[in-house]
Amino acid sequence: MKIAITGFYGKGNFGDDVLFKVTYNLVRQYYPEADISAICDRYGDDYLPRLIGRDIRVIEASSGERFDLIVHGGGGTFFDFTHYGWKERGINLAIKLMGYGLYATLITAVRRLLGKELVSAAKRYGFGIGVGTYTPDSAKLKYNIPVLTTFDLLATRDPQSIANLEKLGIDIPVKLGSDLAFLRRLWAPSPLPYRGEREKRKIGLILRDWHKGELRDYLGMLNPLMERLEKEYDTTLFIFDEREDSALIAMSERYSRMIWEPMRVDFAEYCLALADQDILITSRAHGAMCGALLGVASIIIEIEPKLRTIHEMLPNASLLVGSSACTPERIISLIPAALAITPETIGEDTRANTLLMEEITASAFEGMR
């Protein structure tokens, strides 16, 4: 069987690398003899094999190859918040009037005639996918429609994604799922370190560059926050994306930090360092989710609405700092409550999400056999 997996892979982002490991190992579990390729950034040639401990062929979407199955493994890959002007607005309106299904059929036929066919498959599944909104003058919508309309199953990671699909008027088989990272057995090391009593509690910060909305300048509180934390706690700054978090890297040289560098850093060792923290303070979705799956509670900073959704997935394993109350004082005031969250409580929150994703993926793959 010939299978392709695709997502925001190969770009050096730790959360997306977790999703890659899960998707690859999930497909390999159900189809051990399958020929598996990864559709992603060519940068992934260098390190994706290192993540899974075996070779994998990396191809681009423009290769035109035909597969038995394409699996979209996690991530918010369908959205566009950027404005491009009247030309794109007119194109999008014409596509909507034509009908998305007809447009997808026509554009695929035209690409075939021109010899510019994209990868395709007899079946297309998506698990843990986030579907956002598109601006009326989005430049991405015309490229995403031919993909979105061809899913045989799309398991979204949140209810809002289903609502966004309905707003777009796309009618495909949809299920409400959760994030693929909750399939912990497919990526997390075991056993995890024992965190006993220690002289100074450990706090990990998983922050990110951010230049949008009300909290676009939230990193300005990094120095005052770290200065106060370091007086009482053993702190480490975890940077999940070396290429995208350049501002954070530049301003944090003085602090203890661990930067995810997939060609140099061992994946399991990075996970174990996260698991050794007593709590996490994070503005990254996969910081909170992976932390919980490694047994660590989080204080989540709501720099975007998605972070509130993650808190709702982990209502007892996390605490939320809303955008209107994001100050060093507010974050520090929540630390005692976060430290009091027990492993049993964290496990209860993650278990429900894990069982849901196990059920959805098993039903899909076993139904293909």
pLDDT at residue number 46: 78
Provide the token pair at 134: 């598109």
Domains 2-177 and 189-350 alike in fold: yes
Query: Quick check: 308 pLDDT over 90?
Result: yes
Using a pLDDT cut of 90, give the percent of the chain over it: 82
Element (H, E) at 2: strand 2-6
Q: Are 346 and 278 in contact (CB under 8 A)?
A: no
Supply the CATH classification number for the domain 189-350. 3.40.50.2000
pLDDT at residue number 323: 80
Every domain of the chain and the residues it spans: 2-177, 189-350
Using a pLDDT cut of 70, give the percent of the chain over it: 98
pLDDT at residue number 369: 64
Confidence of residue 86 (pLDDT cuts 50, 70, 90): very high
Q: Are 153 and 173 in contact (CB under 8 A)?
A: yes
Which regions of 7-83 does DSSP assign to beta strands (E)?
A: 35-39, 57-59, 66-80
User: Of 254, 287, 263, 285, which Cα lies nearest the Cα of 273?
Assistant: 287
Encode pLDDT of 248-266 as tens digits. 999 999 999 999 999 999 9
10 Å Cβ neighbour count for 252? Answer: 20
Confidence of residue 197 (pLDDT cuts 50, 70, 90): confident
Query: Quick check: 215 pLDDT over 70?
Result: no
Encode pLDDT of 329-363 as tens digits. 999 999 999 999 999 999 999 999 999 999 999 99
Confidence of residue 238 (pLDDT cuts 50, 70, 90): very high
Encode pLDDT of 95-120 as tens digits. 999 999 899 999 999 998 988 889 99
Query: Quick check: 312 pLDDT over 70?
Result: yes
10 Å Cβ neighbour count for 299? Answer: 25
pLDDT at residue number 77: 82
Q: Beta strands 234-239 and 202-206: pairing type?
A: parallel
Dihedral sign for Cα 197, 348, 358, 124, please: negative
Confidence of residue 43 (pLDDT cuts 50, 70, 90): low
What is the residue type of 255?
Answer: Y
Burial class (CB in 10 A: 0-12, 13-18, 19+), 257: middle
- Who's near 316: CB < 8 A, 6+ residues apart? 341, 345, 346, 348, 349
pLDDT at residue number 366: 87
Angle at 294 between CA 8 and CA 350, to 5 degrees: 80
10 Å Cβ neighbour count for 269? Answer: 11
Encode pLDDT of 282-300 as tens digits. 999 999 999 999 999 999 9
pLDDT at residue number 41: 66
Q: Beta strands 297-301 and 120-134: pairing type?
A: unpaired
Encode pLDDT of 147-178 as tens digits. 999 999 999 999 999 999 999 999 999 999 99
pLDDT at residue number 321: 96
User: What's the CA gap between 68 and 12, in Å, rounded?
Assistant: 28
Confidence of residue 76 (pLDDT cuts 50, 70, 90): confident
Query: Quick check: 214 pLDDT over 70?
Result: no
Total residues belonging to the chain: 369
pLDDT at residue number 199: 87
User: What's the CA gap between 155 and 177, in Å, rounded?
Assistant: 5
pLDDT at residue number 42: 65
- What pTM, to 2 d.p., does this model score? 0.94
Confidence of residue 217 (pLDDT cuts 50, 70, 90): confident
Mean pLDDT of all residues belonging to the chain: 93
330-348 exposure pattern, b = at least 16 Cβ within 10 A, e = fewer? ebbebbeebeebeeeebee
CATH architecture designation of domain 2-177: 3-Layer(aba) Sandwich (3.40)
Over residues 303-323, mean pLDDT: 93
The distance of Cα 291 from the centroid of its chain, to the nearest Å, equals 13
Provide the token pair at 42: 């060519």
